[in-house]
Amino acid sequence: MHPVFSLPALRRGGAFWIGLGLLGVLCSSAVMAAPSPIQSDFDDDAVLVTLPESAPASDGARSSPEAMAREIQRLISEARRSGDPRFLGYAERLFNQQASQGLTDPLLVLRATLAQSLHRFDAARQDLETVLDRSDAPAQRTQALLTLANIEMVQGHYDRARPLCEQLTAEYPGLIASSCQAQVAARTGSAKAAYNELTAATRSLSNVSIQGYLWAQGTLGDIAAQLGRGSAAEHWQRVLSQDPDDLYTRAQLADWYLQNRKPRQALVATEGYEAVDNLAVIRAVALHRLNHPDAPALASRLRERFEEALWRGSMLHQRDLSRFELDIEQRPKDALQHAMANWDTQREPLDTRLALRAAIAAQDNTALGQVRGWLKQQNQSDARYPEES
Amino acid sequence: MSAKQLLAVLIMAAFAGTAFAHKASDSFLYVDMDASEVRIDIALRDLALLVPLDANGDQRITGQELRAQRTLATQAVENGITLTGEQGVCKLRGQAWGLSAHSDGPYLATQYRIDCSNGELPKQIEYTLLFDQDSLHRGLVQITSGETRSLTVLSPEKPVVDLTGGATGAWDTFGTFLYEGIVHLLMGLDHMLFLLVLVLPATLIIRRQSNQTPTHSFKSRLLQLAGIVTAFTVAHSITLALSALNIVRLPIAWVETVIAFSIAAAALNVVWPFLGRKTWKLAFAFGLIHGFGFASVLGDLTGGVSNLAIALAGFNLGVEFGQLGLLIIGFPLLYALAHVRVYQRFIVPLILMGVGIISLMWVAERAGSI
């Protein structure tokens, strides 16, 4: 049994999530499965749960702004590495205990990064603009420029991302800035040239930092996939061989395998990452396509996950939920609703692709026209998108 | 192997072997109003933030370690939750204690009988567990009462929830949204300006006609204006409902730009009636657009509201009352002014120009965020 949510989540419609999931589920008719029974006879020696090695914030974190920044940085990195959002809550708690006016620039940048992770893009933008207005410190400016450019890119505001990438090139030239510019160019009609230029840059620049190298490889992978080239996988594998816990790249690679009818390789890429929602959904789709005996078990675990997320009202999982509805549950109308809600605030190729696929499956020409109209306006084409019929 | 041991193994098998999902931290609260019981499930991982469960520090919590801290664990749970009845805080009487399973692993589940004075039912539940440790923690509440089950969410911003629901809840919702509707109309300058522009032509007509039927026209004009305003309300009610129910969805930046533009167009229409003289039709057409704008406000307010239809009705009526109220106060003023010579020659053009400029500035500003 799963809940019958009689009303879709109310949306504000703009680029803002309703106070992070503080939206109660709106149905008095919801049918929830009865809670699992209380089990009092558990064994003394049984290991019930293994705690994560990384501890939540210690109280010493508030001794100085530097200590607090280090602690928050650690928590955000842990959340990114593991895909575990509890660490974001621990980090946010530290900010909540601190007066907002007294935050140093590094802390503001971190708060923006946290907001970005929670899809509060407007709040993130505001903090980053404050830092860019008042800070002269190169480290903070670089970080703020890059994060802001990234947010604009994710939201599909290429006109706003472009000058930020140019400014980044002026203030901190290198592969990260080149990747930034290549990404904007690729999404606005010049994918081939962008790929060639960024490839040339990776060869010509000496003294390349490992971050710059990985960033460029990730970007090259994305543009290669956009161009429909098989080399995409190689670029992404280079990133993952250095940083296996780069979940963003891992999801792109696994999805690419899935799309190119290599579900077995998608299984390999998602092996051991079932705890992370988006990788688990890709894995579930791969298992489903292979008629694997484990497919129903994973699908049912995900079903429970999404039921809880809907009850909570968390909007962070719209994309994963949409994918699940489309490819596992085969409910294209529900899939489209979540895909479009997601597409309202996030317009990366995989978001756009999902919106297109869901609109086609649901035979919704309005939604399809809306997405295609936007693509045309941006002059964006992508081999990952379903073809126009 | 005894039956008890076998069961324990099976339970562990259900927990082990699967990588538990990572999710934001939630507790589950099941309130049964019929039996006057409450059950709280808290993730062991979260409980470990409140109670030193991991006695030997090996990052693994065994059944024995959990049992050893039963008293502290129970205290922690009871400190984080308060049920209140008419006569004050209700007592919790433990009924069951053990493990349960949710999608991210094992939880400690504790079930209580709720004992309020005079045997009455609890009226509200307050929940503060873990908010000091994890600001993204939420309490997911299921309230069962007779045939109905409702779901809601407790958060640091909203740690209290009403358990009675039913008729009073619906009236409360209606009242709250009625009030919000009035407030929104009075706070929203764009809707006030739009209303003003709709009213202005009627005052001008009155001046021209006042020679023939001076006493009759005030009342009939007021009634006609009420009709215009109602046409506006009916129209925005339609689109507001379509939008709130997610049947039609428009990008808010576009909507707000078009709203600003509609005000400028309505102002221009007073001088040069390119949209016609039928003001109520104009009001209806523009009302359709403004409804989408109201929807963005309503979306912020309806978090946790269990009866959207009542909320919508309240909000729409609130907007209507606000408009009629403004009309009752504002129209006589304008009507009185209309008898002054400078009104038509200076004041009206000045108002129209002001409204036009402001709304065009909004157009520019809002179009920027498209």
- Listed range (A40-44, B154-158, B252-256) with the worst mean pLDDT: B252-256
**What is the pLDDT averaged over residues A304-331?**
89
Residues of B in Cβ contact (< 8 Å) with A24: 151-153, 303-306
pLDDT for B299:
65
Range A65-154+164-172: architecture per CATH: Alpha Horseshoe (1.25)
- Of B127, B148, B164, the position where a domain reaches its end is B164
Q: Rounded CA gap, A157 and A270, in Å?
A: 31
DSSP assignments along A11-63, one per residue: ---SS--SGGG------SS--PPPPPPPB----SSSEEEE--SSPPPPGGGGS
Measured torsion, CA atoms of residues A202, A205, A208, A213, in degrees rounded to the nearest 10: -10
> With an 8 Å Cβ cutoff, are A44 and B255 in contact?
no
* A45/chain B closest Cα distance in angstroms: 6
B324, B226 contact by CB (below 8 A): yes
* Lookup: tokens for B303: 């978090």
Q: Rounded CA gap, A200 and A137, in Å?
A: 30
**What is the pLDDT averaged over residues B297-305?**
60
Q: With the C-alpha atoms ordered A297, A299, A302, A307, is the resulting torsion angle positive or negative?
A: negative
* B74/chain A closest Cα distance in angstroms: 14
Residues of A in Cβ contact (< 8 Å) with B40: none
Nearest by CB: A45 against B28, B64, B105:
B64
- CB-based contact, B96 to chain A, within 8 Å: yes
Based on the fold, state whether residues B55 and B107 are members of the same structural domain: yes
Residues of A in Cβ contact (< 8 Å) with B49: 56
With pLDDT > 70 as the criterion, what percentage of chain B qualifies?
Answer: 85
Residue B147 forms part of a structural domain: yes
- CB-based contact, A374 to chain B, within 8 Å: no
Q: How confident is the model at residue B75 (pLDDT cuts 50, 70, 90)?
A: very high
Nearest by CB: A49 against B45, B138, B299:
B45
Nearest by CB: A89 against B18, B137, B250:
B137
- Listed range (A76-80, A98-102, B81-85, B133-137) with the worst mean pLDDT: A98-102
Residue B261 forms part of a structural domain: yes
> With an 8 Å Cβ cutoff, are B305 and A26 in contact?
yes
- Of B112, B133, B164, the position where a domain reaches its end is B164
Q: What are phi and psi of A56, to 5 degrees?
A: -65, 175
State the pTM of this model.
Answer: 0.69
Residue A7, pLDDT > 90, answer no
- CB-based contact, A157 to chain B, within 8 Å: no
Number of domains in chain B: 2
Based on the fold, state whether residues B180 and B313 are members of the same structural domain: yes
Based on the fold, state whether residues B122 and B193 are members of the same structural domain: no
Residues of B in Cβ contact (< 8 Å) with A26: 302, 305-306, 308
Residues of B in Cβ contact (< 8 Å) with A8: 245-246
Domain spans in chain A, listed from the N-terminal domain onward: 65-154+164-172
- Of B164, B199, B217, the position where a domain reaches its end is B164
Based on the fold, state whether residues B186 and B88 are members of the same structural domain: no
Q: B interface mutation test: which of A39, A92, A98, A320 has the most B CBs within 10 A? A: A39
SS3 per residue for B278-312: CHHHHHHHHHHHHHHHHHHHHHHHCCCCCCHHHHH
CA–chain centroid gap for B123, Å, is 21
Based on the fold, state whether residues B124 and B234 are members of the same structural domain: no
The distance between the two most distant Cα atoms of chain A, rounded to a whole number of Å, is 66
Q: Provide the residue range defining the domain that includes B28.
A: 24-164
Residues 6+ apart with CB under 8 A from B69: B51, B52, B53, B55
pLDDT for A389:
63
Based on the fold, state whether residues B217 and B192 are members of the same structural domain: yes
Based on the fold, state whether residues B133 and B273 are members of the same structural domain: no
ipTM confidence: 0.84
The overall average pLDDT reported for chain A is 87
Q: Rounded CA gap, A356 and A369, in Å?
A: 9
Which of B158, B299, B71, B203 shows the shortest CA–CA distance to A16? Answer: B299
String of b and e for A36-63 (b: at least 16 CB within 10 Å)?
Answer: eebbeebbeebbbbebeeeebbeeebee
Based on the fold, state whether residues B220 and B74 are members of the same structural domain: no
> Which residue type sits at A377?
Q
- Tens-digit pLDDT profile for residues A45-74: 888 988 888 777 666 667 788 889 999 999
**What is the pLDDT averaged over residues A329-354?**
95
- CB atoms under 10 Å from CB of B192, counted, come to 17
Based on the fold, state whether residues B131 and B221 are members of the same structural domain: no
Considering only residues 126 to 145 of chain B, which have any Cβ-Cβ distance to chain A shorter than 8 Å? Answer: 132-138, 140, 142
Which of B249, B236, B237, B232 shows the shortest CA–CA distance to B313? Answer: B237
